[in-house]
Each structure stands twice: as C-alpha cells, then as structure tokens.
Amino acid sequence: MIRLTSVKGREGEEGEEEEDDGKSPGAVPSPEEVEGVQLLQADTVEKLPEEKQRMHCHRNEQALADFFAWAEPIVAAGVPTTVRGIYQRLSSIKDVSAEHRLDKTLQEMTLAQPHDVVVTILRCAPSCDRVAVTMWMAIVSSNRTAEKVLPELLCVLEDWPLHSTSTSDKDNSDVFSLAATRAVWEIIHLPQGPERMILYFPRLFVALLFQIFSSTEQMPEEVTAFWRRCQHKHCLPTNPNRFALLTMKALLCHLEYEDVVSEVERECGWDTLLNTDTHHYTVRLLARAMLRVSEPLCYRIARYLFRLLRREEAHWEVAAMAFLVEILPCLNIKQWGERILQLFQIYLWREHRVMRLLVLRCLMVLCKRPSLANTMSALTESLMEVLKDEDREVRGMTLSVLSEMLLNRDVPIACSLAVQLIEALRPLFDNDTSRVQLLSIRIFQAVMALVQKGKERQGLTDCVRQSLLPLFYHMYDENQFVAEASWETLLQATIFLKRWNLQQLLESEELWRFGECLLKEERDRADGYLRQSVMYLQSPQKSIREAAMRLTAPRGKTNKFSPSIFNLVTPTRHYVRTAETNPNSRFRLLQNQLREAWRRQASLLENGWPSLWHKVGFRRWKPPHY
C-alpha cells in the first residue's frame, strides 16, 4: 500500500528562525570574539542537531496525539466534516508517522460515501495543493477505492464550467470542473497510477476532449479568476484549455498510447485542437490515430459518444460527430444500424454546415452496407430538405448519398416519394456546378427506373413531362458528362411516357427534330415550354443559347406560341443576338466569365456512374449534331 507521505517535508525543513545575538550586522568582531565563537561552534556542531531532533520528534508526537484525539470523536460528525478536518490537520503537520492509520480512514470513508469524500476534497483544495495530492494518493492506492473515486471525479469533470451538487452536510456550493481536471492530472502522475484508469478511459477521454472545446469557447469570469490563482500557485499554463490538453496527452501516455500522441503531433494537430474553427478536424485526426492503435478501445468510445449524442447537447455535438465519423467502420452495424440512423436523422435537421457535412459523411459509409440499403429510405425526406441548403458542398454530398441509396436499393419507390424527389431534383439540373447537375440528372434517371409499373406511374407522368425540355437543352451542355447523362435520362423519360416517336428520334440522333416534334405534339404546353426557354436564352454556354434561339424562333403561320407569351421572349432574343454580334459589350464580357467558370467546375467524370448505366441498359452517348 502506498503510505501517506509528508506534505511539507518534501521541501525540506522550513520555518527555522535565526537567533539574534543583539549585534548589528555591520559590527566587526575582535580576534578574541572570533576565537570564542569558533570554540562555541566546535562544541555545538555535535550537540545542536541531536537536541533539535528530539524537540522536533516531541512536537510531532504531540501533534499526532492531538490529531487522533481530535479525529476519534469528529468522525461521528459526518464524512464531509471529517474530510475537512483531516485536510486542515494535515496542513499543520510536518511529518506523519502513522500514515497507515490515515490511509485506512480515508479509504473506509471513500468506500462508504465516495461522493462526499471527492466533492469535499475538491472544495477544500480546488487547485489541488500538496495536502490534497497526499489524500488522493492514499485513496487511489487501493483499486477498490479508486474504482469508487474515478466516476465521481468524472461527474464533476463533465460539467462545464461548474458542477452543481450537494453533500450530506447540506453544503450545495458549486465545484469547478477544472478542479477535477487538476485532481486527475495529479492522480495520473502518481508513482503508481490506479490500474482502474483503463476501465474509465473512454468516458475520461471524452470528458477531457469536450472540456478542451468548452474552455476554448467559453471562459466565465469566475473560472478565469480561479484559474489565475491555480496558475500562480502551481506554474500552470496560462489558458485552461491547454492544461486540459496536457492532461489528455498525459492520460494517453499513462495508458501506453504514446503512438497516438506522436502521430497527432506530427500532423501539428494538438494546437489546432485549441481552435474552435479547426477543432473538429483535429478530433477526426485523433480518432484515426486511435483506430489504428486499438479498435476495441474505439468501439467503447463510440458507445459512450452515442449515448451522449442522444442527449442533443449542442455545445459539443459537432466534435462528437467528428469522432464518430472516423470510428463508424468498427461498429457492429447489425446491432447499431437502426439506432444510428435515427440519430443521424435528428442531426440532419441542424442548420449547421459542419454538422450536416459530418452526418452526410457517416451516411456515405452506411450506404455501402447492403443490409441498410432499404432501411435508409426513411431518411429520404430529410435529405430532400437538406437539398434546399445553399451551400455547394452540402448539396453535392446530399446528392451523393441519395445516389448511393438508390443504386443499392432493390425495393420499388412509392409514387408519392418519387414525385417529391423529382420536384426537388429538377431545379438542380440548371445548377452552376456541373457535379450537382450530373448527380441530380442521374438520380432522376434512377427514380424513374425504381417506380412500380402500372397505375402507380400515372401520378409521376406530369413531373417527368415537365423535365423534358430542361433535359433537351442540357444535351447541348459543354460538359460532356452532363450532356451524356441528359441524353440517357431523356431517352428513359420517353420510354417512361411511352412516347415512341420521340424515343426513335433520340436513338437515331435526330436531336433537333426532337425539340420540334415536342412542340408540335404538345400544343397545349407550348407556352409553358417557351417560358422554360427564357433562362436558357441567357445561358453562359453558347451551345445551349443557340439551341434555345432555334427552338423559340418564330415560324410564321405555324408558330405554336401565343402572341402574349412570345412577346415576353422577343426582347431577350434580341438582346442575346446583339451580344453575340458585339463582342465588346458588357454582356459579352460577363458571358465569357460565366463560360470560364462553367468549364472550371469539377466533374464527377466516369468513375461514379458505370453501374447505373448498366443497370438502366443504355448505350454510350454521342455528341449532338446541328
């Protein structure tokens, strides 16, 4: 058993007063005085230490006798009072020879009432002075008491900035969360740290992680004042978030996870953990490093994080989700699948860009699990709502998740859901990002293939018909992959609508006749098609503008547009024609800028969609000819 050691004895004997012989400091002794002093010193060198030692032992014996005489009746007063008394007495004793008896007293009280013992020590010594360290050493030297103490310390550590609690003596004063961090730091650095630390590592690791985040984001005035006192007494870092970070690193090293510390250090990750804007990046880096070291350990952390995320505490949920993203592959999906999807559905509705991106990354991982393909359909409505997000990356990832869900799905889609999907996708055909365009068109294609045949399809007919003209114009897109996807999807739409003549025009590559035939056969929709064409007359791409100009050109007596609607289009046509013939106009400059931006957009290119091409059964597309 680790014995209770001296508190002040570590610093040597202090407080000894020098005797004043009444002489002034500047007086010069005579030779006789010097000789007399030398003889006196020679005589006392041997005698004085022995006399002082006897006096010192006598004082300690008396102090210990007083202490145990005091302790015997006061124990009956209650654990908090006893702990405070032990702390005060230890502060006044230079050396304790009856250490074992005190160890036993503290351990017995801890086993009986661990909450009272822990909270009282933290209240007596929130900065964890030498006396508190001695008491912690006595308590955690036993595995039984250590197992009682660590959960109580964690309860305080997990509350920021203050832990509200009450002890059996009705004391309900708050405890600083950082006081528990100071105690954990000292316990980790004891010569023999508690073996039970590994049992509580996931919870302790997460608590420190979120204290780093919380102390970086929010530092109340009272916490700042408390930490300033701690810093002055113990030479601690200026900022408490850095001390919490040092405690985390010490914990990892104590449990022999030095490789994790080194890997994050190589990536300069520890400093970025102290920044709220980059915090989640470092959390992911830390998770990847831990996953390489111990997968079972990460599994335990994931279980604890999952329980915490269900509480929906907004101040740390982004960091928690960031860690979960990386360790998701090590989870047992059969056991966790449905509960995780319920959790993700909640956090998808958070109007927080980083949170949405993290959830979408998790969903991308789960989409590749065949066992969850059909279960994930419950998220479709939530994903359609996220499609309204104006952020380009959020939209792109949402479409990627939807595409993976539909490709792995073997259950038909209900018509009502298909209608909602198509209505959400159609505006994205004209998005200024080619990746979003390509994904939305391909998903539209997959939705048509998954709707059940028969009466169910009738409710989808109008939505598909409204998409014909946008798909027609995008066959002339300068991005080959967008143009190819548009042709294939348009071909499937004609089959879906049973428009066999339009299908033949596409298959025979008579693309221009497709537009003319569409206007001729659907005269009642001609005005609607004209309205749709206005935006394509203003496209930054010349090929699309030319297609729109040709389709909206007047045809004399055979013109299928009503005069009122056509008059709305005529000014736009005139403006476009003028811009084409005047390359120095402002419109032309803007047009060129838009065209260059259009061309620079990153393409998903050929890697993501071959499986869908084969599934639908279309051949490769050839560019349109005028």
**HEC states along 464-497?**
HHHCHHHHHHHCCCCCHHHHHHHHHHHHHHHHHH
Instruction: Write the burial class of residue 95 (CB in 10 Å: 0-12 exposed, 13-18 middle, 19+ buried).
Output: middle
Does 273 score more than 90 pLDDT?
Answer: yes
Using 50, 70 and 90 to split pLDDT, how confident is the model at 64?
low
CA distances from 335 to 331, 338, 374 (A): 8, 8, 16
Q: What is the mean pLDDT of residues 400-421?
A: 86
Alpha helices in 477-585 (DSSP H): 480-497, 500-507, 511-521, 526-537, 542-551, 563-581
Distance between CA 589 and CA 595 in Å, rounded? Answer: 10
The whole-number pLDDT of residue 573 equals 55
Q: How many domains does the chain have?
A: 1
The whole-number pLDDT of residue 613 equals 37
Two tokens at 415? 């018509």
CA distances from 579 to 9, 44, 205, 588, 590 (A): 91, 111, 64, 6, 10
Does 328 score more than 70 pLDDT?
Answer: yes
The whole-number pLDDT of residue 266 equals 94
Q: What is the mean pLDDT of residues 202-226?
A: 93
Does 58 score more than 60 pLDDT?
Answer: no
Closest Cα to residue 106, out of 136, 76, 67, 65? 136
Does 553 score more than 80 pLDDT?
Answer: no
Helix (H) or strand (E) segment spanning residue 86: helix 79-92
Partners of residue 175 on adjacent β-strands: 163
Q: What is the mean pLDDT of residues 160-187?
A: 96
The whole-number pLDDT of residue 336 equals 78
Type of residue numbered 128? C
Region for 137 from its dihedrals, namely left if φ exceeds 0, alpha if ψ lies in -120 to 50, beta otherwise: alpha
Residues across the chain: 626
DSSP string, 178-210: HHHHHHHHHHHTSTT--GGGGTTHHHHHHHHHH
The whole-number pLDDT of residue 171 equals 95
CB 451 within 8 A of CB 470: no
CB 116 within 8 A of CB 167: yes
Using 50, 70 and 90 to split pLDDT, how confident is the model at 421?
very high
Average pLDDT, the chain: 79
pLDDT above 70 as % of the chain:
73
Alpha helices in 279-433 (DSSP H): 279-293, 295-309, 317-327, 333-348, 353-367, 380-386, 392-407, 415-425
Structural domain span for residue 86:
69-255
The whole-number pLDDT of residue 185 equals 97
CB 135 within 8 A of CB 90: yes
**Is 577 contained in some domain?**
no
**Is 206 contained in some domain?**
yes
Q: Mean pLDDT highest for which of 72-76, 380-384, 580-584, 600-604?
A: 380-384
CB 264 within 8 A of CB 282: yes
- Number of helices (H) and strands (E) in the chain: give both, helices first: 31, 2
Distance between CA 345 and CA 499 in Å, rounded? Answer: 39
Distance between CA 64 and CA 102 in Å, rounded? Answer: 11
Does 262 score more than 70 pLDDT?
Answer: yes
CA angle 398, 400, 401 (to 5 degrees): 65
**Is 345 contained in some domain?**
no
Does 220 score more than 60 pLDDT?
Answer: yes
Q: What is the mean pLDDT of residues 141-163?
A: 94
**Is 558 contained in some domain?**
no
Q: Which residues neighbour 300 within 8 Å (Cβ) at sequence distance 6 or greater?
A: 201, 202
Does 48 score more than 50 pLDDT?
Answer: no
Q: How many CB atoms lie within 10 A of CB 271?
A: 12
The whole-number pLDDT of residue 50 equals 57
Pick the residue with more confidence: 57 or 366? 366
Helix (H) or strand (E) segment spanning residue 175: strand 175-176
The whole-number pLDDT of residue 3 equals 30
- Furthest-apart CA atoms within the chain: distance in Å: 141
**Is 393 contained in some domain?**
no
Q: Mind listing the pLDDT tens digit for each residue in 557-603?
A: 445 555 555 555 555 555 555 555 555 555 555 555 544 444 444 33
Distance between CA 498 and CA 456 in Å, rounded? Answer: 15
CA distances from 165 to 120, 175, 177, 282 (A): 11, 8, 12, 33
DSSP state of 498: T
Pick the residue with more confidence: 240 or 599? 240
The whole-number pLDDT of residue 113 equals 96
Pick the residue with more confidence: 158 or 520? 158
Using 50, 70 and 90 to split pLDDT, how confident is the model at 139?
very high
**Is 477 contained in some domain?**
no
Using 50, 70 and 90 to split pLDDT, how confident is the model at 61?
low
Mean pLDDT is lowest, of 132-136, 212-216, 245-249, 406-410, for 406-410
Pick the residue with more confidence: 519 or 313? 519
Instruction: Write the burial class of residue 60 (CB in 10 Å: 0-12 exposed, 13-18 middle, 19+ buried).
Output: middle
CB 245 within 8 A of CB 274: yes
Two tokens at 377? 């359909």
**Is 237 contained in some domain?**
yes
**Is 187 contained in some domain?**
yes
CA distances from 530 to 248, 463, 526 (A): 65, 17, 6
The whole-number pLDDT of residue 560 equals 54
Torsion angle of the four alpha carbons 13, 14, 20, 23, in this order, in degrees rounded to the nearest 10: 100
Q: What is the mean pLDDT of residues 7-25?
A: 35
54-60: which pairs have CB atoms within 8 A and are 24 or more residues apart? 60/93, 60/94, 60/95, 60/97
Determine if the pTM surpasses 0.85: no
Q: Is the dihedral of CA 611, 617, 623, 626 positive or negative?
A: negative
